[in-house]
């Protein structure tokens, strides 16, 4: 039985769930791939743990035998692993600390799975170039739209279909806020406060409301699907803040529903442009059916027609499952390589 050694950086809500989920799936991986998949290292912000014999989900959650200061470069110096799952906070200023984790992992010839988005947005070029040089994989399901498999759908299910347009509802908060304003006639502040009370919006909701979250996901998807490097600052963004009462009334009269969407469009020379827009959809459009934190995707292709996807409601468990899915795909590649 071959061993696949996994490291996790960032052991907050998502990271610790990934540890537990991996432990739960290990017997299945052993049976199907004849592989012993185990966590051999975890690193939080100020402490970490390395144990080649395997670290249980309980030890990750309990943190009773974590070593103070076992983080950053020291963690990677001591770590021997095959795959890194980066699940720390997303920092859109300089990508730290995720970026240095990913760089160290690729330097150490690990495949990398990104759940955090910061490093991908700030330095996607750099990460993918290093991965190509090291002949290692970058998987980003958890960073692209968590439980909605955008990247897999576009690159695998529609391989060769020639995607020309991607339009998606990627941020649950803005759907909730726009729906609340539309249905109940509330103003933005009250709608945002309601979203926060319902646990949907973050304490700092501007990142979602102003379209930055959607733009960040577009940047991640554009890189993973089209190998296009789009600086996030260059993405034109409309904000939910600019939606006013008159617009809402007008949309109601026309029986159309507003959504904040991210759009990627390819021109004839396959150049990708991105934008974040407040758009309205008729009741018969799948996007108007998406509620709460559900994601929705529309894809146009040259060879296989058009598709709509609905689902992938946000949840920590679903995001963890998306990261483990990426790991399963890496496992499939590594196992099929080794038997030949």
Binding residues for NADPH: 117
Residues that bind a copy of itself (CB under 8 A): 21, 25, 28, 147-149, 152-153, 156-161, 284, 286, 289, 299, 303-313, 315, 317-318, 321-322, 324-325, 328-329, 333, 336-338, 340
CA-to-CA distance for 330 and 111, rounded, in angstroms? 8
Helix, strand, or coil (residue 15): helix
Q: Which residues are annotated as a binding site for L-homoserine?
A: 202
Among residues 93, 151, 101, 84, which one has the least CA distance to residue 122? Answer: 93
Q: CB of residue 329 vs a copy of itself: minimum separation in angstroms?
A: 7
> Of 96 and 304, which CB lies nearer to a copy of itself in the complex structure?
304
User: Residues 217, 252, 279, 325: which is the catalytic one?
Assistant: 217
> Of 106 and 321, which CB lies nearer to a copy of itself in the complex structure?
321
What are 54's two structure tokens?
A: 């395997």
Q: CB of residue 283 vs a copy of itself: minimum separation in angstroms?
A: 8
> Of 109 and 244, which CB lies nearer to a copy of itself in the complex structure?
109
Measured in degrees and rounded to the nearest 5, phi and psi for residue 276 equal -120, 125
Q: Which residues are annotated as a binding site for NADP(+)?
A: 10-15
> Of 83 and 240, which CB lies nearer to a copy of itself in the complex structure?
83
Strand partners, 39: 6
| Torsion sign, CA atoms 33, 16, 150, 125 | negative
Q: CB of residue 310 vs a copy of itself: minimum separation in angstroms?
A: 4
Q: CB of residue 340 vs a copy of itself: minimum separation in angstroms?
A: 4
Strand partners, 237: 276
CA-to-CA distance for 8 and 49, rounded, in angstroms? 10
Let me know if 2 is a catalytic residue. Answer: no
Cα-based angle 166, 171, 175 (whole degrees, multiple of 5): 105
Residues marked as catalytic:
217
């Amino acid at each position: 039985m071959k061993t696949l050694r996994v490291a996790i950086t960032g052991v907050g809500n998502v990271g610790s769930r990934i540890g537990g989920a991996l432990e739960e799936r290990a017997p299945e991986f052993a049976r199907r791939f004849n592989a012993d998949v185990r966590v051999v290292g975890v690193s939080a912000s100020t402490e970490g743990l390395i144990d080649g014999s395997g670290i249980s989900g309980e030890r990750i959650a309990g943190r009773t035998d974590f070593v103070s200061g076992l983080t950053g470069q020291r963690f990677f110096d001591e770590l021997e692993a095959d795959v890194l799952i980066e699940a720390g906070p997303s920092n859109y200023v300089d990508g730290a600390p995720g970026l240095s984790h990913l760089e160290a992992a690729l330097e150490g010839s690990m495949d990398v799975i990104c759940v955090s988005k910061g490093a991908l947005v700030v330095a996607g070029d750099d990460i993918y170039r290093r991965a190509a040089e090291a002949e290692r994989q970058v998987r980003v399901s958890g960073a692209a739209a968590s439980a909605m498999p955008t990247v897999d759908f576009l690159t695998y299910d529609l391989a060769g279909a020639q995607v020309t347009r991607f339009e998606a509802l990627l941020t649950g908060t803005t759907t909730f806020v726009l729906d609340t304003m539309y249905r109940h006639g509330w103003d933005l502040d009250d709608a945002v406060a309601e979203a926060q009370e319902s646990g949907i919006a973050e304490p700092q909701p501007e990142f979602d409301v102003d379209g930055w979250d959607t733009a960040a996901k577009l940047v991640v998807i554009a890189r993973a699907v089209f190998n296009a490097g789009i600086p996030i600052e260059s993405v034109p963004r409309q904000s939910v803040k600019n939606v006013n009462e008159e617009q809402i009334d007008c949309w109601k009269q026309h029986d159309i529903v507003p959504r904040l969407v991210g759009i990627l469009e390819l021109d004839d020379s396959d150049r990708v442009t991105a934008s974040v827009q407040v758009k309205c959809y008729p009741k018969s459009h799948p996007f108007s059916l998406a509620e709460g934190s559900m994601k929705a995707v529309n894809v146009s292709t040259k060879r296989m027609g058009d598709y709509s996807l609905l689902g992938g409601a946000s949840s920590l468990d679903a995001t963890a499952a998306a990261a483990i899915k990426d790991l399963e795909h890496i496992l499939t590649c590594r196992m099929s390589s080794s038997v030949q």
